[in-house]
Structure 1
Amino acid sequence: MTSSPRPANSPTTTPSHPAHTLLARAHSPDTASRIFGDKIKNKPLLLNPTASADRDKRALRRHVRLRKQEYYLRKRKPRPLSAKEKRELGVFELKKEEVSYRLYEGLHRMWVDYMLEVLGYMKDGQVVQQSLRKTVTPQGGGPLLASADFHGAQLEVVRCADAGRVGTSGIVIRDTKFTFVLVTAKDEVRVVPKKNTVFRYEIPLPEVAGEVREGGERQGRSLVFELHGNQFEFRPADRANRKFKWKVTDYL
């Protein structure tokens, strides 16, 4: 038994919704179908607001989430400033009232005590007995001096590719990778490049560090060192754990 094909001119099925029946009485079939689809069939269903108990739970969850976020931001390590941000904020700019040689003389005295402890002449602020001191040699004291911090050191340029910089002396207030920033006795800031420059600095021994003659000259002995800038082109933090090797120093 085979089914007969559906005639082409058979009427299309219409929705059996009561609203569509009422619309079909007043409008044409196409208009009734369009109005039924737009106004009734696809009309959004607006629900009632949530109960107060649900709102309280949502507010509690939001409060807990914000407290956790606040705790995380408070405990998180802040991101360091980039070089561009430091320049924009003027982190490394020195104010005019800060450029004073007398202001940094105290820093230099602290640096001298620090270097004496590095070399073993002082310990915990007390002078070590001469019999217990170690002799400062290039092999033993060289690595200690190379990895030390030079903020506060009194440096003097003794040799330089630029002859105009020879004789420049001052206290180091900034030690960068390629330069030393010095404050001179005339309250001037000088930026001296390390490349092709030899610096000299002096460390007075502790037993005569505070004794002064009537003429103002320092008594006793001092340790005098020369620093070759070509081998010192590192940041202070990078020098702390760096191993230095002996190199030829006949470039000047």
Structure 2
Amino acid sequence: MNTYNNNNNNKRKPYHSAGGGGGGGYRQQQEQQDKTEYQKRKEENEEIEKETLEIIESSFGFVQPGIRKQMVDDKELYKPFTMISYPTSNQAKREKKEKKRIEKLKQKKIGSKEKRDIGFYDIPFENCVYDQYLPLHQLWTQYMDDVIGNNDGPIMAMKVVKADFHGAIIQVTRSKSPTLVGQKGIVVQETENTFKIITKENKLNIIPKGQCEFYMEVNGKSVTIFGQHICYRGAERAAKKFKGRQTIEL
């Protein structure tokens, strides 16, 4: 019995001692390798994080640590982005002014001389029909009713002189040129020094203002206008202050 036990002990002790010593050395070696690899990965991660933070600082300026960490964790740094720079107020004004200047150059206007050369102000012969302009005269009559109202006397005369004459029926009563006396028609165009009228004979006549005296009826009242008083453009005449004159020489 004792012999058997001793033999078993002798057999098992070398096994345990050999097995235990070999297993412990392997585990220690494995743990040391794991620690070494963990340390290497930690150092590599710290190095990558450091480089990433440097890039963030150089790209975005100061960023709060919490936001920086979130950007690194979410890998926002490696997503494409566009840096937007808002212009200052003066720069925006200059850009707006330059844009308007370029648009103005593109929309080049035609001068008065070019308009005359291409016949912009000419009235075609087929449009010289008296009856065609009667609705224009009716509109002018309504316009004069609103302008004059219930005024009479000098106030009425002043308002008539400053009014627009397009559509008015005028007649030349006196003139330096005898051939102009008696001509009557609807005013279809007014310039600074002339009237263009359509007569009942469907003719377009040009009447100089400064050489004539004109007669017209406004609200059932007769009005005489000296051409020298109205030798202005319509817009200029509306803002001008006229002075009374005792005599007007033709």
Q: TM-score, normalised by structure 1?
A: 0.56
Identity %: 32
Unaligned stretches of 5+ residues in structure 1:
1-67, 121-133, 205-221
TM-aligned CA deviation for residue 225 of structure 1: 0.3
Aligned to 1:165: 180
| Count of equivalent residues | 155
Cα deviation, residue 240, structure 1:
1.4
Higher relative contact order (CA 8 A, sep 6+): 1
Per the alignment, residue 211 of structure 1 pairs with none
The CA deviation at 1:228 is: 0.3
2:130·2:202 contact (CA, 8 Å) conserved in 1? yes
Q: Distance in 2 between matches of 1:148 and 1:79?
A: 32
1:96 alignment partner, one of 125, 133, 139: 125
Aligned pair partner of 2:164 in 149, 165, 168: 149
Match of 1:228 in 2: 226
The aligned counterpart of 1:246 is 244
Written as runs of structure 1 = structure 2, the 5 A alignment for 1:1-252 is: 72=100, 76=104, 78-120=107-149, 134-138=150-154, 140-204=155-219, 222-252=220-250
Alpha-carbon spacing, 1:80–1:150, altered in 2? closer, same or farther (3 Å): farther
* Aligned alpha-carbon RMSD (Å): 2.4
Structure 1 residues 112, 162: CA separation in 2 closer, same or farther (over 3 Å shift)?
same
1:135 and 1:149 mapped to 2: Cα distance? Answer: 17
Cα distance, 1:73 vs structure 2: 7.0
Task: Considering fraction of residues, name the structure with more helix.
Answer: 2
Where in structure 2 are there 5+ consecutive unaligned residues? 1-95
Q: CA deviation at 1:141?
A: 1.7
**CA apart distance, 1:203:** 2.1
Q: Tell me, yes or no, if the aligned pair for 1:158 and 1:166 is still in contact at 8 Å.
A: yes
Q: Summarize the Cα distance change of 1:147–1:111 in structure 2 as closer, same or farther, 3 Å threshold.
A: same
SS in structure 1 of the partner of residue 158 of structure 2: helix
How far does the alpha carbon of each residue in 1:136-171 deviate from its partner, in whole angstroms, 9 at most, with x for none? Answer: 111x22221111100000000011111111110000
Tell me which structure has the larger Cα radius of gyration: 2
**CA 73–198 in structure 1, closer or farther in 2 if over 3 Å, else same:** same
Does the 8 A contact of 1:115 with 1:203 survive in 2?
yes
Displacement of 1:135: 3.8
Distance verdict in 2 for CA 1:89–1:144, change over 3 Å: same
The answer for the alignment partner of 1:212 in structure 2 is none
- With normalisation by structure 2, the TM-score equals 0.57
Runs of 4+ in 1 over 6 A off after TM superposition: 68-71
AA at the equivalent of 2:179: G
Match of 1:127 in 2: none
C-alpha displacement of 1:72: 3.9
Cα distance in structure 2, aligned partners of 1:83 and 1:199: 28
